[in-house]
Amino acid sequence: MELKQEPHNGSAPAGAAVPPLRRIVIEAETAPIHVGDRIIDQEAFPDPADGALIDQEAESAWVEQRMRTEALSIAYGGKVAVNEVSLEVNSGEVLALIGPSGCGKTTLLRSLNRLVELTPAARRTGRIMLDGESVDEFDVTHLRSRVGMLFQQPNPFPMSIFDNVAYGLRERGSKRPRKKELEPIVVDALERAGLWDEVSKNLNHPALALSGGQQQRLCIARSLAVSPEVLLLDEPCSALDPISTAIIEETIVGLRSEVAIVIVTHNLQQASRVADRVAFMYLGDMVECGAAGQVFGAPLAERTKEYIGGGFG
Amino acid sequence: MSTETAKPPLSAKKPPAKRRPAKVESSWSIMDRIGLGLAWAAGISLCVVAGLIVVYMAYKGIQYVSWDMITSAPEASLDQSATGGFLDPILGTLLLTTIGIVIAIPIGVAVAVWLTEYGRPSGLARAVESGVEIVAGTPSIVLAIFGLLIFQQTFMGLFSFTAEGGAVFGRSFIAAGAMMSIVALPMIIGSTREALMSIPRHVREASYALGKDKATTIRRVLLPSARSGIATGATLGMGRIAGDTAIVVILLGASMTISPEGSGPFGLLKGTGSTLTSYVYNNSPAGEGNAPEKAYAAAFVLLLIVIVLNALVGLIGRRNKPQWN
Amino acid sequence: MIRDRTDRRVELLLGALASTILLLIAGMVIFVFLKGLPSFTHNGLAWFGGGGNVDEQLMNIFNSPANPDDYVYELRAWPLLYATALITFSAVVISTIFAVLSAIFIVEFAPLSIRRILEPVVRLLAAVPSVIYGLIGILVVVPWVHEHLISEERKESVAYVIQLDGTSILVGILILTIMICPIMIAIIVDALRSVPANWTQGAAALGVNRWRAMWTVSVRAARPAIVAAAVLASARALGEAIMLSMVAGSVGFAPNPLDGLTFFLEPARPLASTIVDNAEGLSVVPFGQTMYAFASILLVSSAFLSFGGWAARRSLSKYTLGAR
């Protein structure tokens, strides 16, 4: 496999401050399996059907584990949507869940903030841990204030921009914070979401008057305002135009040092652009999980290879 | 997939550890709990009141109603046990509902068709819409006295009993029926409009493409598909007519039995009578009667009629939903 | 083309029919106003005021001599207007609060079994004729009130102005509320259900509890529908003649708040009930004109309600008038 070029980080001097992830990937030995006509060495790697293939070396010293699932299974009625998936979500990195439609990635995402419980027929087994405690142990509304979510269709409330961002802060607990207390938080959230410049003059305008991309960034700001530890993104750009998509991807990458980010996407290019780690799911099983460069460049499982090569999905 | 796009590096600092205690004070504030409690209280009292009404009416109704009552005509008598049943009021309700609907359906459908398919000039269309809304919001008592006003004019003497001196009685089945049709009109217009508007454009375009003109399209294609909407509106209208008392009390002449004015069907229409609603009213302490048992029995039958009509509305809606592919 | 001509003819025909209906409706409104005008002109603004016993005044009007010059018109309709406003307003306010809370219960918190029974029952109750409510009122509630809430002393305390027999504004407001509530509940439930799941899930995902999310997002989004339901209910309450005639008392009396709790037990008779109670006298000219004057007030009030409702709904939709 050709060695990748040196990463070109426009702002970083060569060699310094390059994320350890990339360094490991780039300096890795060529793997025995790769696309093309090289022989696949089956013995060195366990059969994909036995369990997910995880590239251990993708772990980095900068990341900190926030959430973890252990043998998580979710079924709707009789149909199994997620089958015994074990996964880690770490702050400091973006984890992308990829796979064809119906593979369970959205269901998995929605179980992380227990939103899957809103569907009446859903049954969950296995454990989900947030900072070492099972998510079932505490109040579901408290969980959701620590694990935020962004939806496919931007869904700002029919209120002003300010009220949207302040919503999560106002509607929890008994003491309603005053506007003066809220202002700095709102401004900060809008800045981190990359929307402040565009709306700083019209905070009282209806949020629904914004464009699609702006609305989605508003939703990001709204989620950030409650200071979550994890942010779940369910195909956030699929309803947006390319320019808005690019802005949001940039925002996402910029946020990953503060918040653990999990993004579900069916767009492989997007995954390669934003993700540090990638998990590939197929029909409810997690087939492979590893560093983005490794999964895309040298996928370990046959299925992954087919999917990335465009064979299906 | 083999090229990396430029991603800004992670900051050199370790991200701050944001830990929060797993169990905080509950996210339900006092106000929230009060709100929840009120919602439950409202829900439970709703169940209780609804249950009481239904059970009580059923109990009293079954207690007093008998086959005899339904099939025998009312009779004037000082002896309570000989005042007969309420056959005539039942017939009166049925007759009045029929008259009202028969008048209202053609007019209502025509107006609805005009509003959705033509509707020019738009000022006129909006005026008509406002007019229908006004009628929908008008109390039936106002319609009743207006009806009396109209039907007591000499030129309307044809429609009710006229005394020798020329005074027109103004109260008859047709007078009441005409006003009842106004009551049902907004519902028929509304449902028909909805049904017509839900027919997608390509159906009309297909018909025009086959060379049919607008009138034929409406007659042959659109109206048949809007059948269930029209039926829904008609059934809702019938329910309202059957339950109305004010128009009956004022415009139907309050005779105990159906008293035709002349012979034949037209005589029947010119005549007077009563309906279940006026019968209930008259037999309650508010009317002259003193027969609560009869009132309960008649109310029970009336309620059954209304329930059946309601159920019909649901059935029509569900069964005949046209499928557009 | 022949096709266009037939089309044109049909259009004209239907348009003529619609216009005729419109003229009929307009004619009705104008007619009612014109017929009622003499009553207003003979009394001036004092028509709306109080003074004297309104039932006596009506009796005098009814007994007017046959000579048009001697027609009696004097009327001070305040007790009737007051009764109408009081009963309608109270019933609508109580009903709106109750309907919103019940709707929230049905949509969000009710167990499935209860919900499945409650919804059809509510729709059924909305269709029950008012005379049946009146019947239960007069045979059950009024005697109960008479037995348990009206003691001898209470009767004595107001015996110089009015008899207390159980028919009262309390029973009137209570049964009117029960009567208009179901249709409001049905409308508000539909509105709450049609709030996009996007918003309700979005609120949940932010860590807001079920009550808060329902109250701040769904109910807020349903505000125009709540206003529409309230307007509809008010129109029905305003025009309710038969039921109130049965249970609220057939006396043109203005209940006196200074009587304390007895205030609620005093009878009253709103405009619509007054018309229905006096309908036989319509043939006496000045009397009929007085009744039409009442009807005009009802028509104007309904129109005002509709307009007010429309205006309120527009202002509430300010934040939804975006790209949605």
Chains that touch C (3 or more CB pairs under 8 A): A, B
Find how far residue B63's CA is from the centre of its chain: 28
Total structural domains within chain A:
1
A50–chain B nearest CA distance, Å: 26
- Among candidates B1, B10, B15 on the partner chain, residue whose Cβ is nearest the Cβ of A296: B1
The β-bridge relationship of strands A79-91 and A64-76 is antiparallel
Please report whether residue A289 resides in a domain. yes
In our burial notation (b when 16+ CB lie closer than 10 A, e otherwise), range B273-294 reads: bbbbbbbbbbbbbbbebebbeb
Domain count, chain B: 1
The answer to whether residue C240 neighbours chain B at the CB level (below 8 Å) is yes
Burial-class residue A41 by CB neighbours within 10 Å (0-12, 13-18, 19+).
exposed
Beta carbons within 8 Å of C243's beta carbon, 6+ residues apart: C130, C131, C133, C134, C137, C175, C176, C179
CATH of the domain at A305: 3.40.50.300
Q: Which residues of chain A fall below pLDDT 70?
A: 1-62, 313
Other CB atoms within 10 A of residue B163 CB: 9
Q: Which residues of chain C have pLDDT under 70?
A: 1-3, 319-324
- Cβ(B292)–Cβ(B284) below 8 Å: yes
Q: What is the DSSP letter of B74?
A: B
Closest CA to A236 of A225, A222, A227, A282: A222
DSSP string for residues in B180-244 = HHHHHHHHHHHHHHHHHHTS-HHHHHHHHHTT--HHHIIIIIIHHHTHHHHHHHHHHHHHHHHH-
* Separation of alpha carbons C140 and B207, rounded Å: 60
Residue ranges in chain B modelled with pLDDT below 70: 1-27, 76-83, 163-166, 289, 319-325
Tell me the C-alpha to C-alpha distance, in Å, between residue A82 and each of A104, A111, A231, A267, A285: 5, 10, 20, 20, 6
Inter-CA distances, B271 with B94, C178, C279, Å: 15, 36, 19
**DSSP per residue over C67-106, as a string?**
SGGG-------HHHHHHHHHHHHHHHHHHHHHHHHHHHII
Q: Is A5 among the domain residues?
A: no
Beta strand pairing call for A285-291 and A94-98: unpaired
Contact of C127 with B243, CB cutoff 8 Å: yes
Those residues with Cβ within 8 angstroms of residue A189's Cβ, 6 or more apart along the chain or in another chain:
A165, A221, A222, A224, A225
Domain membership flag for residue B142 = yes
User: Which residues of chain A lie closer than 8 angstroms to C209, CB-CB?
Assistant: 141, 172
Q: Is A257 helix (H, G, I), strand (E, B) or coil?
A: coil
Q: Does residue B24 belong to any structural domain of this protein?
A: no
H or E element: which one contains C206?
none
Say yes or no: A229 contacts chain B, CB-CB below 8 A: yes
Are the Cβ atoms of B27 and A268 closer than 8 angstroms? Answer: no
* CB-based contact B111 C25, cutoff 8 Å: no
Neighbours of A28 (CB within 10 A): 18
Measuring CA to CA, which residue among A278, A268, A159 is closest to residue A209? A159
Residue B53 maps to a domain? no
The answer to whether residue A128 sits within a structural domain is no
Question: Closest Cα partner for B65 from B289, B294, B254?
Answer: B294
Whether A92 has its CB under 8 Å from any CB of chain B: the answer is yes
Q: Do A115 and C213 touch (CB under 8 A)?
A: no
Chain C residues in contact with A160 by the CB 8 A cut-off are 319
Please tell me which residue of chain A has the smallest CA distance to C209. Answer: A141
Amino acid at A147: V
Give chain C's contact residues with A (Cβ, < 8 Å): 196, 198-199, 201-209, 212-213, 216-217, 220-221, 318-324
Cβ of B124 within 8 Å of Cβ of C18? The answer is: yes
Chain A contact partners (≥3 CB pairs within 8 A): B, C
Domain at B142, CATH number: 1.10.3720.10
In a domain, A28, yes or no: yes
Is residue A293 included in any domain, yes or no?
yes
pTM of the full structure: 0.84
Q: What is the spatial order of strands in the sheet that A94-98 belongs to?
A: A53-54, A285-291, A277-282, A94-98, A260-264, A230-234, A147-150
From B4, B10, B11, residue closest to A293, measured CB to CB: B4
Residue B71 within any structural domain of the chain: yes
- Identify whether A84 is part of a domain: no
Question: For testing the chain B interface, which of C100, C211, C234, C289 should be mutated: the one with the most B CBs within 10 Å?
Answer: C211
pLDDT of residue A12: 40
Residues of C in contact with A234 (CB under 8 A): none
Chain C contact set for A145 (CB, 8 A): 206-207
Among B232, B21, B217, B257, smallest CA distance to B117 is for B217
Cβ-defined contact of C98 to B307 (cutoff 8 Å)? no
**Is residue B235 a contact partner of residue B313, using CB atoms and an 8 Å limit?**
yes
d(CA A37, CA B251): 96
In a domain, A110, yes or no: no
In a domain, B324, yes or no: no
Which residue in B9, B18, B25 is closest to A229 by CB distance? B18
Residue in C with minimal Cα distance to B139: C239
Distance, CA of C249 to CA of C258 (rounded, Å) = 20
Query: Would you say residue A58 lies in a domain?
Result: yes
Res C8: pLDDT:
82
The verdict on a CB contact (< 8 Å) between A17 and B14 is no
The range of the structural domain enclosing residue B187 comes to 65-318
C118 shares contact with chain B (CB less than 8 Å): yes
Contact B228, B317 (CB under 8 A): yes
Nearest to A171 among C198, C201, C216 (CB): C216
Contacts of A168 in chain C (CB under 8 A): 206-208
C195 CB neighbour count, 10 Å cutoff: 19
Q: Do C202 and A219 touch (CB under 8 A)?
A: yes
User: What is the predicted pLDDT for the residue at C310?
Assistant: 83
Q: Which residue of B has its CA nearest to A275?
A: B7
Domain that residue A255 falls in: 14-64+91-102+138-312
Q: Which of B134, B152, B218 sits opposite C303 (nearest CB)?
A: B134
pLDDT at A215: 93
Q: How far apart are the first and last CA of chain A?
A: 25
